[in-house]
Chains A and B, each alone.
Chain A
Amino acid sequence: MPIARFTPFERLLLTSRHQADTAALLLLGWVLANQGPVGGDQRARLATLTRDFRHDHDLAPLLEIAVAQDLDAIQLAAEVLQREARGGYPFLRLAIALATGQGEPSPANHHVLRFLADLLGVPPQEFAALYEATSGRSLHDPEDPSRQAYWQPRFEERARQEEEARRRAEEQARHAEQQREEGKREESRGKEDESRGQREEQQGRESRGGSRQREEQKRERRHHQPPPGGRQQRALQVLGLSPGASRQEIRRAYRRLAQAHHPDRFHAQGDAVMAGASRRFQRIKQAYDYLMREAS
């Protein structure tokens, strides 16, 4: 009958030669786990950074606990560190070095590092100075993924990629069209002095080709349909704006486009042209009205 049960971390802590070092190691493992997946490189880095520690047990079980983000173990480690550490600077230096080993720390680690600074009683100014001295870059406020601005660059990147893919597809379609027309021309040139039956056959083939062309056009048109996404996104696309445009930007874009596409400008060029311009103008106006209703 066991007299008392202990968790794996408690057992490690009790058998450690130096409890504060074991606790510090667990918290460093937590920082490492928050930076991304922990591979062999990261383990080696942690081992070299903590080679002066006197814990005298294996690193692997401790890292396992840290990667699992066992909150009770982390709390115990934090308490031990708070109780035993003589000044937080050496530990914080290690934590900062681990978090900034491959560039900017992850958003999670921004908060973890600040928590550790609070735990060890290091005020913000001192922490910023320490961060700068250790990592060689200045300390920024953590980015905020609960704001739309954080995701904005990704949306823009995706829109750019989509635009590029569309352009490439268009170019390919045009290329294919050209080739087909050339082939047809050669064919008809070759067929000029051949018998009538053959010509009829060719006509049949051409009509088949025509139907294929129509099919192609249809596909292309389908491709040109607005990309799936909110109505707002489509409206912004019509006005050539990026998401997050202000009211003033929307108004300015609308004025410019409305002037360029106003049907009155195309009066002299015939009804068909004017009808096209009218359709374009309608679309622009609708997009503008929608955006002005929506935008705050």
Chain B
Amino acid sequence: MRDLYRRLGVPPDSDSETLNQAIATCQHRALKRDAEAALAEAEHRREYDALHATLGDIGRLRARLGLTHGAHWRDGLADDFSCPADLAGSHHEALMRRLSRAALAHDRWRRWRAPALGLALFLLGLVAGAAACHWLLG
């Protein structure tokens, strides 16, 4: 399937007026005919848009997973729905990184919990003592 929006030069979420204008001014006769059949009617456009969204998703997924040159992804599909390689990286690795960071933070907390609590109590006592002295002597 081709991306008619891209070929007509309009964003996929444009309203029907903009779209009809783009179709009317389209110079390519075959493209105009195809766009008229697929997009000029609201019902057809809904159906086309659903598939368009799915293919956009698959194109992004392939870009992120390094499958842009897969054997099942050729010709018109790959031309119109391939994205430039995504540098966001693997979601699984990101999840593992986040998990290990959380585990590290948890460990550190376990190790320093007792001394930190003691220190906090000591400081609190100091402040309370100073306040009491100030009140009695002042």
Q: How far is the CA of A72 from the CA of B88 in the complex (A)?
A: 11
Interface size class of B (residues with CB under 8 A): 35 or more
Q: Contact check, B91 vs A115: say whether CB atoms are below 8 A apart.
A: no
Interfacial chain A residues near B90, Cβ < 8 Å: 79
Q: Contact check, A69 vs B72: say whether CB atoms are below 8 A apart.
A: no
The answer, yes or no, to whether A60 is at the interface (CB within 8 Å) is no
The answer, yes or no, to whether A80 is at the interface (CB within 8 Å) is yes
Q: How far is the CA of A107 from the CA of B51 in the complex (A)?
A: 7
Q: Which of A3, A119, A146, A230 contacts B65 (CB 8 A)?
A: A119
Q: Contact check, B48 vs A146: say whether CB atoms are below 8 A apart.
A: yes
Q: How far is the CA of A34 from the CA of B50 in the complex (A)?
A: 9
Query: With contacts A145-B48, A146-B48, A155-B37 known, is A115 near B1, CB below 8 A?
Result: no
Q: How far is the CA of A256 from the CA of B29 in the complex (A)?
A: 28
Known: A75-B61, A80-B92, A114-B70. 13 other contacts (CB 8 A): A3-B102, A69-B54, A71-B61, A72-B91, A79-B65, A79-B92, A111-B54, A115-B58, A115-B72, A146-B38, A147-B37, A151-B37, A230-B36
CB closest chain-A residue, reference B48: A145
The A-contacting residues of B in range 8-60, CB under 8 angstroms, are: 29-30, 33-34, 36-38, 44, 47-48, 50-51, 54-55, 57-58, 60
The answer, yes or no, to whether B87 is at the interface (CB within 8 Å) is no
Q: How far is the CA of A154 from the CA of B4 in the complex (A)?
A: 20
CB closest chain-A residue, reference B43: A154
The answer, yes or no, to whether B111 is at the interface (CB within 8 Å) is no
Query: With contacts A142-B1, A148-B33, A151-B37 known, is A123 near B102, CB below 8 A?
Result: no
Q: How far is the CA of A114 from the CA of B73 in the complex (A)?
A: 8
Question: A27: shortest Cβ distance to chain B, in Å?
Answer: 11
Q: Contact check, B44 vs A151: say whether CB atoms are below 8 A apart.
A: yes
The answer, yes or no, to whether A170 is at the interface (CB within 8 Å) is no
Query: With contacts A3-B102, A4-B99, A144-B1 known, is A114 near B51, CB below 8 A?
Result: no
Q: How far is the CA of A79 from the CA of B67 in the complex (A)?
A: 12
Interfacial chain B residues near A269, Cβ < 8 Å: none
Q: How far is the CA of A270 from the CA of B106 in the complex (A)?
A: 104
